[in-house]
Chain A
C-alpha cells in the first residue's frame, strides 16, 4: 500500500483498522502464551492442526486459555459497540453500559435466576437473554426518569439516574448474596468481572444474541450519521428517529447482556474506547463501530493480561483493572464536559 492510498484510507475513516487488528492479534498471541505455565505459540498451532489429548500443554490451551481469550475478545467487542451506540444515540460522552445501569440490571437478573431451584436455572441461550432483559429493564427506568422535565435528557441527569439505580440494583444483589450462601458460591467471581471462569459453554450461548445485535447495529449505522446532525435534521433526511433509537438501544442492551453473561459486569471499557474510535474514524459511524469493536476487544485483552501478570502469583479480577484505567477517563470527561 503506497503512502497515498494509506492517507486516503485514513481520510475515509478505515485507515486505523489494520493497525488495530494487528495489535489485537499480537496481544491475543501474548494472552495465549502467558500464564502460570508459559506455552510457546507453536503448541497452539499443533493443537489446532493435530490435537493430541495426551499433551498437557495442548489441553491447557484448548480448554482453558482459548475460551478465556474468546470470551475476552467477544465481550470486549460487544461492550465497545454497545458504548458507541449509547453515546451516539443519547449524545452523551458519559453514556456507558456500566454507568447507565445495564450491567447492574443484568447482574441482578442473573443473580435472582441463580437463586431459583435447579430446574428453573437459565442455561444456554436463556442466560445472555435474561441478562439483556434485566439490563434493559433497569436502563428503561433510568431513561424514563432522566427524560422527565423541561430540559429533557441532560448529561448530568442521565449519569446521576444511572448511578442511583445501579446502586439500588447492587444493594439488592448484595442482600441476596448474604441471605443465600449457595448463590454466593456460584457467582462470587463472576460478579467482580473475572475472566478466569470463562468457558466454551457461555461463549457459545452468547454468540447468537451478539450476532443478532451486531447485524441490527450494522443496519442502522448509516442512519446514525444522519442522527448526529440532530433529531430535526435527521427527520428531514428521512430517518425515522424513534425506530432507529429503539433498535439501537435494544441492540446495546443485547450486546451488554451477552458480555455480562460471559465475563460478568465489566465497566468502563465502553467509556474509554468509543470516544477514541469515533475520533479516529473521522466522525463516521460505520468505521467507528468496527474500530470500537476491535478497540474494546484489545483493551479487554490488555486489561486481562495486566490483571494476570501485574502482580505475580495473584490474579486480580479484570473488572478491577478496567476500573483502575477507566475511572480517570471518567474524571477527565467530567472535568472537561460537565458544566
Chain B
C-alpha cells in the first residue's frame, strides 16, 4: 500500500482522502448490486416481466397494484436493507473482537432478538409493528451483555463459544414457548421465525432503513478509532483512544442492526461472516473500504440468496437463510483451514 494510491477530494471545507482503485471497485460493486436488484425485480414465479418492471420504475403512481410493485419491490428493498445491516454488523464485530470468526448470528444476539419479538407477539398480538424491532433490540442487547459477562473477554474464541451456547439455550426456550402457546398466535410467529423474506410487510421498511442509517452512521463516525483499535488494547490506549467508548458504540451499532434485521426478516445466518471476508478478499484496505464493501456485498448476498431461493424450485420457496447457511458453512470451513495453526 503506497501513499500514491490515495487521492484527495476537496469541496469547500470538506476534504476526503480515498484510494482510487478501491473506490472504483466499490462503485463497480454498487452498479452490480443495482443490476442484480433489477434482475430480481423481473424474475419470479408470477407472470410479471420486463414490461411490468419498467412500468413500475418509470411511472410508479399510475401502475396501481401489481406483482412487481406490491410484492417484489418491498421484498427486494427489505433484502437489501437486512443484508447491508448484517454485513455491517459482522464487519464491526470482527473488528471489535479482532476475531475473523465473529458473526452476529453466532453470538446469540439473533436468538435473543427472536425471543423478545416472539414474547411480544404472543403476549400482545395487537401491539404495533414498530414495537417489534425495539423489543428485538432490547433482547439482543441483553444477550450480548450476558455473553460478555460470562466470557470476560471480547477478543478470544471463548466469547464466540459462549455465544453459541447461549443461542442453543435461547432456541430451546423459543421452542418451548411455541409448543405451549395458543395455536392461532403460534401460526403468526412461525411464519416470522422461518427467516424467509416472503412475509415482508411494506410497513416494516421505514424502521429497517432507519436502523440501517443510525447503525451505519455510528460505525462511520468511529471508523478511525476502529482502525486504531486493531493494534490491540494497550497500543490503542497509548495512542490516546477512548477504548471503552469506542467499544460501546461498536457493540450498540452491531446489536441494533442485527436485532433489526432479525425482527424484520427472521434468521439470516452467516451474512455477517461472509460479507467482510469477501470484502477483504475482493477490495482489501482499511476500515472505510471494509465497511462500504461489507454493506454492498451483504446486501448483494441476501438478495442473491433470496432470489435463488424463490426461483430455483419455484413455486416452492426456500428461505434465504437456508441458502445462506450452505454458502456460509463452506466459507467457515475455509477460514478454519486458513487458521489451522492459530486456534
Residues on A close to B: CB < 8 A? 145-146, 148-151, 154, 156-157, 159-161, 163-165, 167-168, 171-172, 174-175, 178-179, 192, 267, 311, 314-317, 320-321, 323-324, 326-328, 330-331, 334-335, 338-339
- Among B169, B172, B176, B328, residue most surrounded by chain A Cβ atoms (within 10 Å): B172
Q: Nearest Cβ distance between residue A328 and chain B, in whole angstroms?
A: 7
- Bound Cα distance from A164 to B274, whole angstroms: 14
Q: Nearest Cβ distance between residue B244 and chain A, in whole angstroms?
A: 23
Once A160-B336, A192-B175 are accepted as A-B contacts, the answer to whether A149 and B329 lie under 8 Å apart by CB is no
Tell me which residues from 167 to 185 in chain B have a Cβ below 8 Å from any Cβ of chain A.
168-169, 171-173, 175-176, 179-180
- Bound Cα distance from A165 to B179, whole angstroms: 28
Please state if A338 and B161 are interface contacts (CB–CB under 8 Å). yes
Quick one: which of B150, B157, B180 contacts A331, CB cutoff 8 A? B150
Quick one: which of B164, B269, B322 contacts A178, CB cutoff 8 A? B322
Please state if B172 and A320 are interface contacts (CB–CB under 8 Å). yes
Of all chain B residues, the one with the shortest Cβ separation from A166 is B329
Of all chain A residues, the one with the shortest Cβ separation from B161 is A334
Once A156-B343, A179-B316, A323-B168 are accepted as A-B contacts, the answer to whether A164 and B161 lie under 8 Å apart by CB is no
Once A145-B333, A145-B337 are accepted as A-B contacts, the answer to whether A314 and B326 lie under 8 Å apart by CB is no
- Bound Cα distance from A163 to B176, whole angstroms: 22
Residue numbers in A under 8 Å from B164 (CB-CB)? 163
Once A156-B343, A160-B157 are accepted as A-B contacts, the answer to whether A320 and B322 lie under 8 Å apart by CB is no
- Among A149, A311, A339, residue most surrounded by chain B Cβ atoms (within 10 Å): A149
Interface of chain B, helix or strand or loop or mixed?
A: helix
Please state if B180 and A339 are interface contacts (CB–CB under 8 Å). no
Residue numbers in A under 8 Å from B325 (CB-CB)? 167-168, 171
Please state if A323 and B161 are interface contacts (CB–CB under 8 Å). no
Please state if A316 and B322 are interface contacts (CB–CB under 8 Å). no
Of all chain A residues, the one with the shortest Cβ separation from B174 is A320
Of all chain B residues, the one with the shortest Cβ separation from A98 is B168
- Bound Cα distance from A27 to B161, whole angstroms: 34
Quick one: which of A148, A164, A317, A334 contacts B329, CB cutoff 8 A? A164
Known: A316-B179, A320-B176, A334-B162. 18 other contacts (CB 8 A): A146-B336, A151-B343, A156-B157, A159-B161, A160-B157, A160-B343, A164-B329, A165-B333, A171-B326, A171-B329, A174-B322, A178-B318, A178-B322, A311-B180, A316-B175, A321-B172, A331-B165, A334-B161
Say yes or no: is B17 at the interface (Cβ < 8 Å to chain A): no
Q: Nearest Cβ distance between residue A79 and chain B, in whole angstroms?
A: 16
Please state if B336 and A317 are interface contacts (CB–CB under 8 Å). no
- How many residue pairs between the two chains, A and B, have CB atoms under 8 Å in the bound complex? 121
- Bound Cα distance from A251 to B320, whole angstroms: 38
Q: Nearest Cβ distance between residue A120 and chain B, in whole angstroms?
A: 23
Tell me which residues from 146 to 199 in chain B have a Cβ below 8 Å from any Cβ of chain A.
150-152, 156-158, 160-162, 164-166, 168-169, 171-173, 175-176, 179-180
- Bound Cα distance from A316 to B162, whole angstroms: 25
Q: Nearest Cβ distance between residue B130 and chain A, in whole angstroms?
A: 30
Once A157-B340, A334-B162, A335-B151 are accepted as A-B contacts, the answer to whether A324 and B313 lie under 8 Å apart by CB is no
B299-343 vs A: 1/0 string, CB under 8 Å? 000000000000001001111001001101110110011011111
Of all chain A residues, the one with the shortest Cβ separation from B170 is A327
Quick one: which of B166, B319, B329 contacts A168, CB cutoff 8 A? B329
Please state if A149 and B157 are interface contacts (CB–CB under 8 Å). no
Say yes or no: is B88 at the interface (Cβ < 8 Å to chain A): no
Quick one: which of B169, B179, B340 contacts A328, CB cutoff 8 A? B169
Please state if B165 and A327 are interface contacts (CB–CB under 8 Å). yes
Say yes or no: is B260 at the interface (Cβ < 8 Å to chain A): no
Please state if A334 and B333 are interface contacts (CB–CB under 8 Å). no
Q: What would be 28 A-B contacts, judged by CB atoms less than 8 Å apart?
A: A150-B341, A156-B157, A157-B343, A159-B161, A161-B333, A164-B336, A165-B329, A168-B329, A171-B325, A171-B326, A171-B329, A174-B319, A174-B322, A175-B318, A178-B318, A179-B318, A311-B180, A314-B179, A316-B179, A316-B180, A317-B179, A320-B176, A327-B168, A331-B166, A335-B150, A335-B162, A338-B161, A339-B158
Please state if B158 and A149 are interface contacts (CB–CB under 8 Å). no
Quick one: which of B150, B313, B339 contacts A179, CB cutoff 8 A? B313
- Bound Cα distance from A243 to B138, whole angstroms: 52
Residue numbers in B under 8 Å from A330 (CB-CB)? 165, 168
- Bound Cα distance from A167 to B322, whole angstroms: 10
Residue numbers in A under 8 Å from B342 (CB-CB)? 149, 151
Q: Nearest Cβ distance between residue A153 and chain B, in whole angstroms?
A: 11
Q: Nearest Cβ distance between residue B321 and chain A, in whole angstroms?
A: 8
Say yes or no: is B101 at the interface (Cβ < 8 Å to chain A): yes
Q: Nearest Cβ distance between residue B197 and chain A, in whole angstroms?
A: 14
Residue numbers in B under 8 Å from A148 (CB-CB)? 337, 340
- Among A146, A163, A164, A326, residue most surrounded by chain B Cβ atoms (within 10 Å): A164
Once A157-B340, A327-B166 are accepted as A-B contacts, the answer to whether A316 and B176 lie under 8 Å apart by CB is yes
Q: Nearest Cβ distance between residue B170 and chain A, in whole angstroms?
A: 8
- Among A163, A314, A334, residue most surrounded by chain B Cβ atoms (within 10 Å): A334
Residue numbers in A under 8 Å from B173 (CB-CB)? 324
Of all chain A residues, the one with the shortest Cβ separation from B269 is A167
- Bound Cα distance from A327 to B175, whole angstroms: 14
- Among A146, A151, A327, residue most surrounded by chain B Cβ atoms (within 10 Å): A327
